[in-house]
Amino acid sequence: MEVLYTNTRDASETVRASQAILNGLAKKSGLYVPTVIPKLDIPMEELASMTYQETAYAVMSRFLTDFTEEELRTCIERAYDSKFDTPKIAPLVSADGAYYLELFHGATIAFKDMALSILPHLLITSARKNNVEHDIVILTATSGDTGKAALAGFADVKGTKIIVFYPKNGVSPIQEKQMVTQKGGNTLVVGIHGNFDQAQTGVKQMFSDEALRAELDAAGYQFSSANSINIGRLVPQIVYYVYAYAQMYASGGIAPGERINIVVPTGNFGNILAAFYAKNMGLPIEKLICASNENKVLYDFFSSGLYDKNREFILTSSPSMDILISSNLERLIYRIAGDDAEKNVYLMNRLAETGKYMITSDMKDKLRTFYGGFADEAETAAEIRRLYRHTGYVVDTHTAVASAVYQKYLAETNDTAKTVIASTASPFKFTRSVMNAIDKKYDAMSDFELVDELSGLANVKVPQAIEEIRHAAVLHDTECDADDMRDTVKKFLGIYSERQK
């Protein structure tokens, strides 16, 4: 069965998977969504004996139906190889009564690697399939982790250039160092004087700027996106939920058909949406617990049905979740509006014009799978300390938000369902916040002293990604105002426009 992709903002646009991947964003700033969610028609016994790569093929082949078997298998092989430091790719660790699904064993030690190690291959394959001759320019806004993972995925990939915008004062020192030391002649890293939402808005504006697209076209380029709005990122993320369930089943942790909960530390709503798609495929999932930090727009939304971004933007110790406009939520809104582009457009226009929208009670009824929770900075730090003291297991700040929200959920509901917590970053990526949470005395140490201290304390080897940047030279120092992102892109591509005369 062919799965097509339609536009959340224009019902007349329908494309094949490879075209959706190439385009990134649909017309009118809409997002591509599958017209049907394919069923996971493989017995759990069979899934339970599959490797990560085999699971990836089983899941992705059902969504990316215009890829040949050979094309897709090649993409998977190139993505999930020794760049990951464990053959399991996404191991499940059981600690304190929950299962932590470690999604940080890739090149940049955050969960973005799960999708961004395969996206470049999906894109290049899509370009070939669609006879695209232009070079592809990847434009990315990052709250910290996407940027490095995208850079690592695309660096020196022929036929591509990649430009990453990050909030100059909004990422952790290690995140910034990871990005500005990126090698590859086709890479550009830019710190913007603004926050993530401004970076993301700037990127979206460039995508829908027809004049800019025309200038690129004339110069032999075309844009695509590595942001989590690209369906080529969403689909690979469904894989690890299926894999996690199959692993639990294989180890006897759950009975056939037993329903589990999944807790996801959420920012742009991509990771948890992938879990929602997994559930729609038929994976036995009961609750999807959406965990926010102090930027708790989503918590408020799930509680009241009002999405309201008009509030102070708070910088927290879980910067990859410091987001007030969760782009992928639009895909859920479209869904609960009954796959109705018009209704969705109405709400998205409200969001653009007033910064908020209210869903109908019919729509809210369809959100019962979701439970929204949040953890503030003190609760997040306390959870890191508690888990460490109880079990010796050290989690990063984002995972700690999820873990803290799960504790609150347990206290509130006494739900005994087995629960998977998406563990989205290595604690080594947020060493200072993690170590300070365990003991204030660590604050006096330098970043790399802390890395070594954490390694001893958690009994985990320092990841390669951290070793690499210890002595690496800074190769990028471009900065710009949020208003100048367009010109920065053109300069990098060597385009000088007529309109500037």
Ligand X SMILES: *Cc1c(COP(=O)(O)O)cnc(C)c1O
What is the DSSP code (8-state) at residue 462? P
| Residues at the interface with ligand X (CB under 6 A) | 110-112, 145, 228, 265-271, 320-321, 398, 424-425
Do residues 421 and 111 touch, judged by C-beta distance below 8 A? no
Nearer to ligand X, 47 or 405 (CB): 405
Reduced to 3 states (helix: H, G, I; strand: E, B; else coil), residue 475 is coil
Nearer to ligand X, 60 or 234 (CB): 234
> What's the min distance (Å) between Cβ of 44 and ligand X?
26
Nearer to ligand X, 421 or 438 (CB): 421
Nearer to ligand X, 221 or 276 (CB): 276
> What's the min distance (Å) between Cβ of 267 and ligand X?
3
> What's the min distance (Å) between Cβ of 271 and ligand X?
4
Report the distance separating Cα 205 and Cα 208, nearest Å. Answer: 5
> What's the min distance (Å) between Cβ of 112 and ligand X?
5
> What's the min distance (Å) between Cβ of 255 and ligand X?
30
**C-alpha angle 138-144-146 in degrees, rounded to nearest 5:** 40
Edge-to-edge strands, sheet with 419-423: 92-95, 98-102, 419-423, 260-265, 285-292, 370-374
Nearer to ligand X, 19 or 292 (CB): 292
Reduced to 3 states (helix: H, G, I; strand: E, B; else coil), residue 373 is strand
> What's the min distance (Å) between Cβ of 177 and ligand X?
16
> What's the min distance (Å) between Cβ of 369 and ligand X?
16
Report the distance separating Cα 223 and Cα 160, nearest Å. Answer: 10
* Closest by CA position to 114, among listed 144, 138, 149, 140: 149
Nearer to ligand X, 137 or 321 (CB): 321
Nearer to ligand X, 320 or 433 (CB): 320
**C-alpha angle 10-16-20 in degrees, rounded to nearest 5:** 65
> What's the min distance (Å) between Cβ of 272 and ligand X?
6
> What's the min distance (Å) between Cβ of 111 and ligand X?
6
Tell me how long the chain is: 501
- Burial profile 149-167: b = 16 or more Cβ within 10 angstroms, e = fewer: bbbbbbbebeebbbbbbbb
Nearer to ligand X, 316 or 424 (CB): 424
Nearer to ligand X, 194 or 265 (CB): 265
Helix and strand numbers, DSSP H then E, in the chain: 22, 16
- Burial profile 168-182: b = 16 or more Cβ within 10 angstroms, e = fewer: bebbbebbbbbbbbb
Do residues 409 and 289 touch, judged by C-beta distance below 8 A? yes
> What's the min distance (Å) between Cβ of 298 and ligand X?
9
Q: Which residue has the tokens 């993530």?
A: 196
Q: Which residue has the tokens 């890293």?
A: 189
Nearer to ligand X, 34 or 265 (CB): 265
Q: Give all strands (DSSP E) within 204-361, no chain letters.
A: 221-225, 260-265, 285-292, 306-308, 356-358
* Closest by CA position to 243, among listed 49, 72, 39, 34: 49
Written as six digits, the tokens of 16 are 């094949």
